[in-house]
Structure 1
Amino acid sequence: MNYLRTAILLAAMTGLFVGIGYLVGGTGGMLIAFGIACAMNLFAYWNSDKMLLRMYGAREVDQSSAPDLWRMVATLASRADLPMPRVYVIENAQPNAFATGRNPENAAVAATTGLLGALSRDEIEGVLAHELAHIKNRDTLIMTITATLAGAIGMLANFAMFFGGGMRDSEGRSSGIGMIGGLLIMILAPMAAALVQFAISRSREYAADRMGAEISGNPLGLASALARIHEAARGVYNPRAEQNPATAHLFIINPLAGERMDSLFSTHPATENRIAALQALASQMGPGEMRGGGYRPSPAPRQNAWATAAGGRRRGPWG
């Protein structure tokens, strides 16, 4: 159902783009604007992972610098039948994580030192499995497509404002939509595109939660992680995320201040709804599907100097 919903939402965004392009400049104007938007986003498509990791100051780790973290990702990737992604650690006190990359062969998983220092091993495993599910589902590619279309819609909306009233067809008749129409499109079209983009993001989060729980074999471990991250993220400011709000949808929990509701304008589903879905999944899974026959909560690790943003220069098993 999530895949069908995503396909419908992508079709809706494409239809919105085509409709605005036709209103602004007919078929020719639509194709020109789309070509410009694609050219602008082509570089981001091929380099979005490098740009994002650099934006957050992520540091790549390997088996020697972060043995526990690297082996955990390797084990989960093997369970998910995925190539080993690159593994990064971000020096940030807010517990969070994201995945990036245009395909499974060019993917990376990044976790903050806040997450590695505040969560138990079972919870960290659940979070990493969730991010690998995004990679397996090619969600990062889907979000790149929606970002491209949203950018193109924004560009067409600006065209509608500045040129909507003065374009004429071959017979000299005005083919524009008028200044008022252009103003309405400039305001409403980007909002509509954002709503569709957020809806796609929320849909993919539910799918990644389910697949991540299946990969880890521990739905309640991921549910516990979501609860802890949600609570901790509310009190820990993430300056880089606040400076780049367009990246908020990539994190497992919204890193921005506010917007915690399951509303039209939120990038993530409500955490309590995600937890309820995972609890329902746990009740449906038999003992053979649950790792070790069921979830056994483990205590959160003690805060280690190397696992916090303040003491990030020291190295340990998590990097």
Structure 2
Amino acid sequence: MAHTRFAPDRGLTSRMVLTMFLLGLLYVVFVSVLITLGVRTILVLLIAGGTLLVQYFMSDRIALFAMHGREVTPEQAPELHGMIDRLSAMADMPKPRVAIADSDVPNAFATGRNQKKAVVCVTTGLLRRLERAELEGVLAHEMSHVAHRDVAVMTVASFLGIVAGLMTRVALYSGLGGRARDDRGGLPIGLIIMLVSALVYGVSFLLTRALSRYRELAADRAGALLTQRPSVLASALVKISGEMARIPTRDLREAEPFNAFFFVPALSGGTSLATLFATHPPLNRRLEQLARISAQLGQGV
């Protein structure tokens, strides 16, 4: 984590290291299996590597373009810039660029591979619905993502999933091709490749989603400790989650692909199985953590 006054999170660091280690191990096993099966993986790795580099170096531009966000100057959004200025000074970190997305879905996100390339974006729906203190709590949460370099970590973590997904498509579109069957007359080689790739994709998907959920808890914690007002962040969480129910389903589904970026997911399942695949922890878990922080600070919830 770069030098800031955001509270360090050893749990987040250890989970990042563990996830990267497991993904790296899985990658080595996956490539070894492909080589054993006689698959030439160079083209797939080049395509996946190119995709990773584009995501890594252009994440800020891609996210703003996809969400129809636009950078705003201090003259265009003086109050928003004032809050970002204050939080940047409190956190002792460079001020990120500031953007607004014209969307009624109340949300916010931060992106960019490092602090110098970071941008914090809020929607017009969020600006209309939150009080100043609540908005500041949300911004502190998003800026902690920047301080922890979450976007860069999650981009790198997605590499194995990209490779496995491409291999699954190659095997599928080739009609389960390659050699018709293995040397023992078993399953077609193409089918084996597709099954192994699908399994690797599933495991890497679950690992990155588990890391994504924890990083949201870490951002809640760091943001609450920076502002010393966890109850305000809890209020924003409850308000935004409640307002989501009033947004047309069509609009929520359009925003759903960007859940991993958002402060609160546009759509979230209520079952335990859906939680396993979710980018964010359940609302009650986030509120429980903020309540514990309030108690530690000697405040009411």
Coarse TM-score class (shorter-chain normalised): 0.7 to 0.9
Match in the other structure for 1:230:
241
Among 25, 49, 71, which residue is 2:82 paired with? 71
Match status 1:113 vs 2:88:
no
1:249 aligns to what SS in structure 2? coil
Tell me: higher relative CO, structure 1 or 2? Use CA pairs within 8 A at least 6 residues apart: 1
The answer on whether the counterparts of 1:199 and 1:267 sit within 8 Å (CA) in structure 2 is yes
Per-residue CA deviations over 1:167-221 (Å, capped at 9, x if unaligned) read: 999xx999x9734423422433322222112111101101111101112111111
Whether 2:29 is the aligned partner of 1:23: answer no
Contact residue 180 and residue 189 of structure 2 kept, 8 A: no
Q: 1:62, 1:239 → 2: CA distance?
A: 31
1:38 — aligned with what? 49
* 2:96 paired with 1:85: yes
Measure how far apart 1:166 and its partner are. Answer: 2.1
Deviation at 1:246, TM superposition (A): 4.0
What is the SS of the residue equivalent to 2:158?
helix
CA distance in 2, matches of 1:37, 1:244: 25
Q: Which residue of 1 aligns with 2:228?
A: 217
**Please, what is the CA RMSD of the aligned residues?**
2.9
| Equivalent residue number for residue 259 of structure 1 | 269
Letter in 1 for 2:281: P
Structure 1: distance between partners of 2:188 and 2:181: 11
Tell me the TM-score normalised to structure 1 length. Answer: 0.80
Paired AA for residue 4 in structure 1: S
The within-5 A match list for 1:87-106 is 87-106=98-117
Bigger Cα displacement from structure 2, 153-162 vs 272-281: 153-162
The 8 Å contact of residues 58 and 89 in structure 1, kept in 2 or not, is answered as: yes
Deviation at 1:248, TM superposition (A): 1.3
* CA–CA separation in structure 2 for the residues paired with 1:131 and 1:186: 34
Give a deviation string over 1:281-300, Cα, whole Å, max 9, x none.
111125xxxxxxx57x9xxx
In the TM superposition, residue 83 of structure 1 has moved relative to its aligned partner by 0.5
Residue 152 of structure 1 corresponds to 163
Closer/same/farther in 2, CA of residues 260 and 3 from structure 1, 3 Å limit: farther
Are residues 1:12 and 2:25 paired? Answer: no
Query: Using a 3 Å threshold, how does the CA distance of structure 1 residues 196 and 237 change in structure 2: closer, same or farther?
Result: farther
Tell me the secondary structure at the aligned position of residue 59 of structure 1.
strand
Q: State the match for 2:285 in structure 1.
A: 273
For residues 138-191 of structure 1, the C-alpha deviation after alignment (integer angstroms, 9 at most, x for no partner) is 00111111223321221233345557752999xx999x9734423422433322
Mapped partners of 2:98, 2:55: distance in 1: 21
User: What corresponds to 1:48 in structure 2?
Assistant: 59
Percent of matched pairs sharing the same residue? 33
**Aligned-pair CA distance for 1:224:** 0.9
Task: Give the 3 Å change call, closer, same or farther, for CA 190–164 of structure 1 in structure 2.
Answer: farther
Rounded Cα–Cα distance in structure 1 between residues aligned with 2:50 and 2:171: 20
Give, as a single letter, the amino acid of the residue that structure 1 aligns with 2:258: T
Q: Which residue of 260, 264, 268 corresponds with 1:249? A: 260
| TM-superposition CA deviations, 1:48-95 (whole Å, max 9, x none) | 211110111112222211111100011001111110111111111111
Give the structure 1 partner of residue 69 of structure 2.
58
Gaps of 5+ in 2: 1-10
**Equivalent residue pairs, number:** 286
The CA distance in 2 between the partners of 1:38 and 1:244, in whole Å, is: 27
Distance 1:159 1:186 in 2: 10
The structure-2 alpha-carbon separation of the partners of 1:244 and 1:93, relative to structure 1 and needing over 3 Å to count, comes to: closer
Question: CA, structure 1 residues 23+275, in 2 after alignment: closer, same or farther (shift >3 Å)?
Answer: same
